[in-house]
Copies of this chain bind each other. A is one copy, B any other.
Amino acid sequence: MLSHKAKYALKALLYLAEQDENHISRTVEIAEGANIPKKFLEQILLDLKRGRFVSSKQGKFGGYYLIKSKNDITLAEIHRLFDGAIALLPCASLNFYEPCADCKTESECSLRHGLMLIRDKTLKAMEGITIASLVNK
């Protein structure tokens, strides 16, 4: 399941994607438009900025805007940024790989193969969903 943070991030990106080119959105505007707690959204937007999805203008009349094409922002990326691995166990993960502590006696974790198959299918599906594909749906 997605965390609220990831869900709010997606809704915020969706909001930004619906604005006119060159429009800068204040946090409070996004919060009201997408129904997200404002102070919580602040943190989320900072995370999105660190992840190079959005950029900001500080000071009066400042705000946030997309710096990545809405066609290139996928659900997989947002999931990884806020909720981490897409695989069901770390030993089956591409970006968050860790060996299982409780599998050291076995040559390899017995679940790993199956979970990697699932990861591949899920990842492919998540990479197919972009912000652009969600706008106006």
Contacts and interface: CB of A to CB of B under 8 A. Distances in A.
A2 B134 contact: no
Q: Interface size for chain A: under 10, 10 to 19, 20 to 34, or 35 or more residues?
A: 35 or more
A129 B121 CA distance: 12
A33 B104 CA distance: 13
Interface of A: 1-2, 7, 10-11, 14, 35-36, 75, 79, 84-85, 87-90, 102-103, 105, 110-111, 113-115, 117-118, 121-122, 124-126, 128-129, 133-135, 137
Given A1-B88, A113-B137, A117-B128, 7 more contacts: A1-B90, A2-B89, A75-B114, A110-B134, A115-B129, A118-B126, A118-B129
